Amino acid sequence: MRLLLLILCIGFLQTNAQQILSIDKDLNSIIENEKRAFARLGGNGNADLLTFASTNFDVKYYRCEWEVNPAIRYITGKVTIYFTITNATNNIVLDLLNPLVVDSVKQRNNVLTKTQTPTTVSIDFTSTLNVGVLDSVSIFYKGIPPNTGFGSFATETHANVPVMWSLSEPYGSRDWWPCKNGLDDKPDSIDIIITNPVAYKGASNGMLQSETLIAGGTKRVSHWKHRYPIATYLVCFAVTNYSVFNETIALGTTNLPFQTYCYPESLASFQAGTPDLTYAMQLFHNKFGDYPFIKEKYGHIQFNWGGGMEHQTASFMNNVSENLSSHELAHQWFGDKITCGSWEDIWLNEGFATHATRLYRETKYAVNTASLLNERRNEMNFITSAPDGSVWVDDTTSVNRIFSSRLTYYKGSYLIMMLRWMLGDNTFFTAIKNYQKDPVLAYGFATTNDLKRHLEQASGKNLTKFFNDWYKGQGYPSYRVSWNMVGNSSVNIKMDQTTSHSSVSFFELPVALKFKNSTQEQTIIVDNKSNGENFLKSISFVPDTVLVDPGYWLITRNNTALKLPAVTFPANTIKVGANPFKDKFTIQLYNITSTPNLTAILYNALGQRVATKNIVLLNGEAIVDMLTSNLASGQYVLKIMGGNIKYVKKMIK
């Protein structure tokens, strides 16, 4: 969800946030409105406090019939709910705020007893409903939805024309219709029927089935059908004098309908934004897996608030800038198809959508451009502008913590960036497609552990430490890289690290180091797993400068590099380590004067040859690894021979 606010309210982070504003004006400094939306719903407590619906039933279907006039803040409704009982009962409870009055509740045309409280409507059945029974009730209600000045049910104007819309994230559905309002129950499908004065058009989720005139042609009835599971807060409608245009987006062999409902005065700008949306849709369809609602449509519906809201198949949009369009589109996968099951994991919605906008820009405009690298640097400065803070929401009673721009949105996005760096894009996006296709998660709810499981399965890596450090841990590392030339074609690298917060003693990461001089450069990646770790790497020239993480793939700050004096060797120098060894040991050769080639042979205790390595020297130097993972523990003898070189060393595994 993105709602525009033009003034930052983050105090000491203001300078850094202003830097990022140049990157994404539709994302930055607008999260404050999400905080307000949560707070106005009593969101000074955790999510469970915002739904009072009973847990003894499972919603299967909603049929919502609403009559509205955008010029009048009022709603008349009939909501029919099909459900199955999970615990035998003669009573169920729905969420609904009491400014709305329930006239009656019917079960198969029989009037049931109902009781309203300030936040609920309780329904009593005439007999006990047994577990597994499919049943339904219809709730008839009307009234003025509560108006807090920042509500989930809005009536405003555009060009002096009335407009009405809903926007329920996170728990505002109960403000204007009876429902089950939590992050734990999606109906399998919905029908939405909107009646409004004939001068206006109604728009909603899914596919338009019909538009008919009634009451002597004075009213228009729009019937929308959506046949996918949907979280309650993603159900929507809007009504005004919309202009409508329909296009298609090619997704493989499917021509996906793309439908726009915009204000007449905005028609040209919304039409001009279609090519950007097409590019984003095709990119995400290929990277994340099939567009989740491919049997129906994707659509834009214009509303007044700045930014947008990712209503399922029908994103509400203030404008169609590239950043906003790509962000709300990405939510169709991350937030709509798979919804975070707890506010602790809101980064699964917002971090992914934020990162998808970056993926869109960097794919379309080429990642190595100076402006895009500058964007990454500015984001990094913002994330590291304070020494603490985790992606995991450690306090779900705090609105500011849940909707932290620095942690939930940007650090969450960069957690994804680092996973792509560690695993490689092929493996990472394979994992994401598997995550999206997981039948347990698809069109349901997920936790961070669900994502972690798919990343581990695709990569074969154990990511427990990574998620402990970067998801639940706080802060970031700072690197001090000490380096010097060893001979003419090797560089010795020492990696020292300090962390900004005591929750993590050491961040294990592969770190890119760009060695360069005035005419040449070479990037070396070191897989740094301990503090003070040394690496010896081949290099094809003599550098004078080192840049740490030049592509800004990692969350780091205040990195330094120190050049030490070069090391020279006497003729025919050979060094071997480690000893004892495990899966490999390294052979280093310097200033070899007698031959261009050598052979390294490893013998076991019986004198049998168990490993051989042919060594080609470049300018008399080489660094090679002898791989030994298939060897049993024990004593070995290494011999290195060629020209007048005869080197023998006892080795132990």
Task: Give domain status of residue 110, yes or no.
Answer: no
Same structural domain for residues 647 and 606?
Answer: yes
As a three-state string, the secondary structure of 156-197 is EEECCEEEEEECCCCCCHHHCCCECCCCCCCCCEEEEEEEEE
β-pair partners for 625:
586
Task: Give domain status of residue 568, yes or no.
Answer: no
Same structural domain for residues 515 and 555?
Answer: yes
Same structural domain for residues 547 and 581?
Answer: no
pLDDT digits (tens, 9 = 90+) for 348-394: 999 999 999 999 999 999 877 888 999 999 999 999 999 999 999 99
pLDDT digits (tens, 9 = 90+) for 471-493: 999 999 999 999 999 888 889 99
- Is the predicted pLDDT of residue 149 greater than 70, yes or no? no
* Token pair listed for 342: 């707890």
Task: Give domain status of residue 351, yes or no.
Answer: yes
Question: How far apart (Å, rounded) are the C-alpha atoms in residues 40 and 399?
Answer: 10
CA-based nearest residue to 158, from 200, 193, 216: 200
**452 — pLDDT class (breaks 50, 70, 90):** very high
pLDDT digits (tens, 9 = 90+) for 130-144: 999 999 999 999 999
Question: How far apart (Å, rounded) are the C-alpha atoms in residues 101 and 103?
Answer: 6
pLDDT digits (tens, 9 = 90+) for 539-582: 989 999 999 999 999 999 999 999 999 988 899 999 998 899 98
pTM over 0.85, yes/no: yes
pLDDT digits (tens, 9 = 90+) for 51-85: 899 999 999 999 999 999 999 999 999 999 999 99
Same structural domain for residues 365 and 460?
Answer: yes
Percent of the chain at pLDDT above 90?
79
Task: Output the pLDDT for position 32.
Answer: 60
Lowest-pLDDT range of 104-108, 198-202, 462-466, 585-589: 585-589
* Token pair listed for 29: 């400094």
Question: How far apart (Å, rounded) are the C-alpha atoms in residues 391 and 223?
Answer: 41
Cβ-contact 78, 138 below 8 angstroms = yes
Task: Output the pLDDT for position 28.
Answer: 55
Mean pLDDT computed over 232-259:
97
CA-based nearest residue to 26, from 232, 316, 251: 316
Task: Give domain status of residue 116, yes or no.
Answer: no
β-pair partners for 201:
240
In 3-state terms, what secondary structure has residue 473?
coil
Q: Are strands 89-95 and 254-262 parallel, antiparallel or unpaired?
A: unpaired
- Is the predicted pLDDT of residue 12 greater than 60, yes or no? no
In 3-state terms, what secondary structure has residue 269?
helix
**19 — pLDDT class (breaks 50, 70, 90):** very low
State the residue for tokens 């009405």: 164
Same structural domain for residues 508 and 585?
Answer: no
Task: Output the pLDDT for position 21.
Answer: 42
Task: Output the pLDDT for position 619.
Answer: 80
- Is the predicted pLDDT of residue 10 greater than 50, yes or no? no
Angle at 292 between CA 291 and CA 298, to 5 degrees: 70
pLDDT digits (tens, 9 = 90+) for 219-230: 999 999 999 999
The one-letter code for the residue type at 587 is I
CA-based nearest residue to 491, from 523, 453, 454: 523
CA distances in angstroms from 221 to 200, 212, 303, 527, listed in the order given: 10, 5, 20, 62
Q: What is the domain-level CATH number for residue 410?
A: 1.10.390.10
In 3-state terms, what secondary structure has residue 206?
coil
- Is the predicted pLDDT of residue 18 greater than 80, yes or no? no
* Token pair listed for 601: 């042979």
Question: How far apart (Å, rounded) are the C-alpha atoms in residues 589 and 538?
Answer: 11
Question: How far apart (Å, rounded) are the C-alpha atoms in residues 133 and 57?
Answer: 10
Task: Output the pLDDT for position 36.
Answer: 61
pLDDT digits (tens, 9 = 90+) for 161-173: 999 999 998 888 9
Task: Give domain status of residue 146, yes or no.
Answer: no
Same structural domain for residues 373 and 459?
Answer: yes
3-state helix, strand, coil in the chain (%, to 5): 25, 40, 35
> Which residue range(s) make up the domain with 584?
573-652
* Token pair listed for 203: 């728009």
Task: Give domain status of residue 418, yes or no.
Answer: yes
Same structural domain for residues 27 and 6?
Answer: yes
| Residue where one domain finishes, among candidates 408, 437, 472 | 472
Same structural domain for residues 352 and 444?
Answer: yes
Q: Which residues of 532-564 are buried (b: 16+ CB within 10 A; e: fewer)?
A: eeebebebeeebeebbbbeebbbbbbebebeee
CA-based nearest residue to 77, from 148, 173, 185: 173
Mean pLDDT computed over 386-405:
90
| Residue where one domain finishes, among candidates 472, 494, 522 | 472
Same structural domain for residues 467 and 340?
Answer: yes
The H or E element spanning position 284 is: helix 274-288
β-pair partners for 640:
600, 647
Task: Give domain status of residue 267, yes or no.
Answer: no
Task: Give domain status of residue 555, yes or no.
Answer: yes
Contacts of 519-525 spanning 24+ positions with Cβ under 8 A: 523/550, 524/491, 524/493
**423 — pLDDT class (breaks 50, 70, 90):** very high
Cβ-contact 201, 214 below 8 angstroms = no
Residue 172 zone, left/alpha/beta (φ > 0; ψ -120 to 50; rest): alpha
Q: What is the domain-level CATH number for residue 614?
A: 2.60.40.2550
Same structural domain for residues 360 and 462?
Answer: yes
Mean pLDDT computed over 183-197:
96
Task: Output the pLDDT for position 594.
Answer: 81
Mean pLDDT computed over 589-605:
91
Cβ-contact 139, 94 below 8 angstroms = yes
| Residue where one domain finishes, among candidates 544, 563, 582 | 563
Task: Output the pLDDT for position 8.
Answer: 30
β-pair partners for 560:
480
Same structural domain for residues 342 and 462?
Answer: yes
Same structural domain for residues 354 and 429?
Answer: yes
424 CB-near residues (< 8 Å, 6+ apart): none
Q: How many other CB atoms sit within 10 Å of the CB of residue 630?
A: 8
Give how many domains the chain has, as a whole number.
3
pLDDT digits (tens, 9 = 90+) for 520-537: 999 999 999 999 998 888
Q: Which residues of 481-494 are buried (b: 16+ CB within 10 A; e: fewer)?
A: bbbebbbbbbbbbb
Measured in degrees and rounded to the nearest 5, phi and psi for residue 274 equal: -60, -45
154 CB-near residues (< 8 Å, 6+ apart): 164, 165, 166, 167, 303, 304, 305
Q: What is the domain-level CATH number for residue 509?
A: 2.60.40.1910
